[in-house]
Structure 1
């Protein structure tokens, strides 16, 4: 009898038929729309797609995954806005709160309605999908029941998270439009903060790495997670985080609803304590975006555009926040400036403390005895199936004490030199500049990463000491690929792109790999800085599946590219012995003429990239004088030297075109200092 009475009370208070009937009558169409969209996107696609060879998939998000995720992050938000519209409008708020129901009971009924409208369409779709996959005689996709179950769980958790986030935000916001904007703003704020605040740190904190917050940062936003969903479906860890946040949001919703005043409907912010949080958050976000924008467009030599951007963003952000809160642009009063000063001070403090000199970040250089291993060049990624996959990083670290000493010595000199911070503008190129990325794994388990752009000439001795170690060359030139199982090797001439040879003989592949690795590891510092184009480029194609587990993360296969530099004399001799050299080289007898056009570079303060430009010769800009020669000696000398691309402000180069008797013509360039006496003579005579 006791349990029966309790059950009747429970049903009466929490499962009010009138509220349920009204909710489904008024908003049930949203559930039907959700069901229709899911059915059209998943089981219909699976049932109507035709493939000659069925694709085996492990996740249903590999079938229209982006569209399905879009539905999961949009439809539940709309449901939350409609179901709880009654707390945002004055008349409905008075009506609903006058009913003989406690707030927690009313909230439970609406949450239950949303729960049903979300979960029923998802699991009906999952059931139909499983049924469709079993009746197809020639399916386009092959998957098992686990994929269907995982899809249903994932869609359920993400949809419920977006729904409960919308409801929780609605308790603190009194307008439906602002509520929806705030929901998506909250989802995007982590990306904005990490990305834009990372730019701030990179601009004003010496040594801060560019990619500190870059890789994997999209996964923290359900909105941007859509970009790689089909390639990296959510795992149980990610789903567990969303499920935990959903539970927390439900608890917060009950707390907020209990303290929310009915008359706060139509107000922008319903709680006084939320207003300062909103002001600071809105102002700080606008400050970061404005500061980043002004920093990116600042002229060369300017140091204060970023600061001006922060000031403008602070003013605009605070005024915008006040207008939103008060729902009017008439916000002027005596308290406006004092409040602005308080918030501006807080924002300035947050911006200044991380980049201040006294925090020790910029001057922190570990001693060699504290370093367990070190890596130069940062993390390595491979691009596969529209996504970047990180390669196992252990192979890039070195425990060699001599190499560690060389890296620490370079790092210490960089810090002692107190270099000026590099501007962050678009297309900023600095002459004689080199990027140095250092990652330390310390013996205490910590990881310390720094990134610098240094003038090569000032650190030539330290760079040479570091780059002459095999540990650096192995990482920089990826020689570890040559230790793997190679299927074949392709070699393309650097002088004529149509000249290509392939090595498929296993014995020749082993000999070539060994020689190439020796040449790379034994090259001098000067060879690494060679300004000349290579004799040939090498493409090494890895064998699979044996090599994949050894070389790359997650069994991804790929090829590796190397250069055959003119200084690789033993490797070039090997090519000659195996009758491969003549198939790659270009003879002067194959060329009819060589055409020269002089190009003057004069752009002080604005570095320009100079490269072999076919349009400069074929277009013949401004009818520049062209000098043509058939001299075979000069043509032979041209075939021995090709200047690589370089940056300059002021220089004289010659754009050159080699006209072949047969086949595609070749374009190259030389600086004026590169010309031989015979070339100078013919150019001066003309």
Structure 2
């Protein structure tokens, strides 16, 4: 009569408690220290300033994140270490217990060691909530969120470690591959997107990375928990649970097929070794392109990054698989990989899919978004503007060469087309010379549709405004406020007129001394916009009220302005605020000192922040002892400056 064998073995359970029970105790101690103890310390400190915490993950957030990301992986390594040690493997597998039962017992022990510390910490928080006044710090709902999100995240990370344990025979490799698996979706998404912007002109890298690849990985997702009221959505919880279940069944299936002699092998299955080797080669190749393309730029450096990165990745993979440093004789596989990649790279250069030249037809476009950042809700819908945007797009495509694929400089410009069939077409470009496209940009920027979309003030009802404050942004601090309804109506009216009359040149000029206009609404919301030199209507109104001097930095605040023509002086960048160096330049006649108030006013109206296109630098010496510096570009250099230096 066959004997019945229980799935539960007391000997295995006690052995697990002796060998890995300490991990559960460390986890419990860490959670109690990070959350309940921290709350008690805050609640009993009479000198503590109140700080708002978004949720329970906000308390010792770094420590909680560390525990969540490390403890489950450690547990999976220590629990299933018997698969990586020959004596332990032989002993466990000699027991009269099926592999499935062995696996489940180890797995359940691990899950209990993760869940029990979290539940005990949750109970502590509930008790704390009932005996102390901690309502300022968390609610009972917060405890539920914390319990659920922590357990779900722990389970997924733990099951990832268990899955990896089934395919490797080395504990160190298991730890490394577990984090690779957890970070792979987010990491490969970022790397592929970043490299595609080198290979495909117009690929909207910033648009895709702005969609938060970090949410794909539980490790990077956990970093965001402290900033969210409800960290995980129902859909995310369901996805995490499904993945954990998939990893569970995958682990059992692999475990059943795993050979005992796989102990001490980096990859337990020979069929997976090429996958591991070439995956690492590919990822390191992308990392090389990411580094050299991002920091150095240029076609040569991108290719260099691909070659160096892929070679390093291939050699590291070979070292891990063969457990030796002597792998330079095993480069045949790398040569094959390099040839295949060279062909793929060449196909990208020829744009065989037509991606780079594809522009939607006007008849298929419902609306289009155009801006220097990838996120926005305001789209062009007027036919003439849609056609202008499309023509601009075609002009950019005609102007972009190989440099357009590899350049990391220039002003960003995003196109997002909404098509009538519901599809979207997105492109991103870096314009190194925006003036080439002024014939298209100028009418777009000056259109009423564009201004209505980008200036919220134009849609504000003046009755909703409580207060207007105009403050200087320079080295002097002054402000003027208006609360009288008549003044508010006049100020808003003048501002709207100035915005409606604003030209493309005024809108794109990065002026250096704009004041800030803050508009306080009756719903306590605030709006901010720059008070630009071109806002003549508002200037006249403020001057008539005798308040212009309080709203802007003016010539009365400045004792002198020093204009210096750009040169290649070795200490140039550190000398603009060096009084001795400036005096030396003045004595040589290589700088112009301006003391006339009208000319100083011209300098204030026309200077901007640093630019590689600038021809002159200007330094302002304030009467209060402060100094400020900026530049004159070719378009905004005062005439008297050009006359002075051209006469030299």
For the aligned pair, the TM-score class normalised by the smaller chain equals: 0.7 to 0.9
2:444 is aligned with 1:451 = no
Matched position secondary structure for 2:226: coil
Deviation at 1:448, TM superposition (A): 1.3
Q: Which residue of 1 aligns with 2:333?
A: 339
For the Cα contact (< 8 Å) 1:58–1:147, is it kept in 2?
Answer: no
Q: Which residue of 1 aligns with 2:386?
A: 404
Write the mapping of 1:358-373 to structure 2, written as runs, cut at 5 A.
358-373=352-367
Matched position secondary structure for 2:450: helix
Question: CA 1:506–1:13 in 2, change beyond 3 Å: closer, same or farther?
Answer: farther
For the Cα contact (< 8 Å) 2:609–2:630, is it kept in 1?
Answer: no
1:496 and 1:179 map into 2 onto residues whose CA distance is 57
Deviation at 1:174, TM superposition (A): 0.6
2:567 is aligned with 1:567 = no
Q: Deviation digits for residues 256-283 of structure 1, max 9, x if unmatched?
A: 0100001111111101221121012100
Long gaps (5+) in structure 1 = 382-392, 546-556
For the Cα contact (< 8 Å) 2:576–2:629, is it kept in 1?
Answer: no
Q: Which residue of 2 aligns with 1:524?
A: 503
Residue among 187, 192, 200 paired with 1:197: 192
Matched position secondary structure for 1:526: helix
Question: CA 1:682–1:521 in 2, change beyond 3 Å: closer, same or farther?
Answer: closer
Deviation at 1:224, TM superposition (A): 2.0
2:566 is aligned with 1:600 = yes
1:238 and 1:303 map into 2 onto residues whose CA distance is 40
Moved more, 78-87 or 192-201: 192-201
1:650 and 1:528 map into 2 onto residues whose CA distance is 18
Deviation at 1:669, TM superposition (A): 5.4
For the Cα contact (< 8 Å) 2:467–2:519, is it kept in 1?
Answer: yes
Question: CA 1:91–1:655 in 2, change beyond 3 Å: closer, same or farther?
Answer: same
Q: Which residue of 2 aligns with 1:625?
A: 586
1:28 and 1:532 map into 2 onto residues whose CA distance is 64
Residue among 495, 512, 517 paired with 2:491: 512
Moved more, 31-40 or 634-643: 634-643
Q: Which residue of 2 aligns with 1:643?
A: 607
For the Cα contact (< 8 Å) 2:577–2:627, is it kept in 1?
Answer: no
Question: CA 1:294–1:169 in 2, change beyond 3 Å: closer, same or farther?
Answer: same
Q: Which residue of 1 aligns with 2:55?
A: 59
2:488 and 2:209 map into 1 onto residues whose CA distance is 38
Question: CA 1:81–1:416 in 2, change beyond 3 Å: closer, same or farther?
Answer: same
Structure 1 length as normaliser, TM-score?
0.83
Moved more, 348-357 or 99-108: 348-357
2:227 and 2:553 map into 1 onto residues whose CA distance is 45
Deviation at 1:129, TM superposition (A): 0.9
Deviation at 1:348, TM superposition (A): 4.7
For the Cα contact (< 8 Å) 1:54–1:142, is it kept in 2?
Answer: no
Matched position secondary structure for 1:213: helix
Deviation at 1:663, TM superposition (A): 7.4
1:637 and 1:321 map into 2 onto residues whose CA distance is 65
1:624 and 1:174 map into 2 onto residues whose CA distance is 71
Q: Which residue of 2 aligns with 1:440?
A: 417
Write the mapping of 1:29-178 to structure 2, written as runs, cut at 5 A.
29-50=22-43, 59-136=55-132, 138-139=133-134, 141-178=136-173
Write the mapping of 1:167-566 to structure 2, written as runs, cut at 5 A.
167-215=162-210, 216-232=212-228, 233-298=231-296, 302-331=298-327, 336-348=330-342, 356-377=350-371, 393-394=376-377, 396-422=378-404, 429=409, 434-454=411-431, 455-479=433-457, 482=460, 485-493=464-472, 497-530=476-509, 533=512, 536-544=515-523, 559-566=526-533
Deviation at 1:148, TM superposition (A): 1.4
2:51 and 2:288 map into 1 onto residues whose CA distance is 47
Structure 2 length as normaliser, TM-score?
0.88
Matched position secondary structure for 2:426: strand
Question: CA 1:217–1:609 in 2, change beyond 3 Å: closer, same or farther?
Answer: farther
Q: Deviation digits for residues 208-238 of structure 1, max 9, x if unmatched?
A: 1231332211121222223322012222222
Aligned length: 636
Q: Which residue of 2 aligns with 1:390?
A: none
Moved more, 268-277 or 525-534: 525-534
1:270 and 1:678 map into 2 onto residues whose CA distance is 75
For the Cα contact (< 8 Å) 1:601–1:649, is it kept in 2?
Answer: no
For the Cα contact (< 8 Å) 1:201–1:354, is it kept in 2?
Answer: no
Question: CA 1:666–1:116 in 2, change beyond 3 Å: closer, same or farther?
Answer: closer
Matched position secondary structure for 1:223: helix
TM-align CA RMSD:
3.5
1:337 and 1:663 map into 2 onto residues whose CA distance is 66
Deviation at 1:645, TM superposition (A): 2.6
For the Cα contact (< 8 Å) 1:287–1:313, is it kept in 2?
Answer: yes
Deviation at 1:370, TM superposition (A): 1.2
1:84 and 1:184 map into 2 onto residues whose CA distance is 17
Matched position secondary structure for 1:211: helix
2:176 and 2:528 map into 1 onto residues whose CA distance is 48
Deviation at 1:670, TM superposition (A): 4.9
Question: CA 1:188–1:600 in 2, change beyond 3 Å: closer, same or farther?
Answer: same
Residue among 3, 7, 10 paired with 1:17: 10
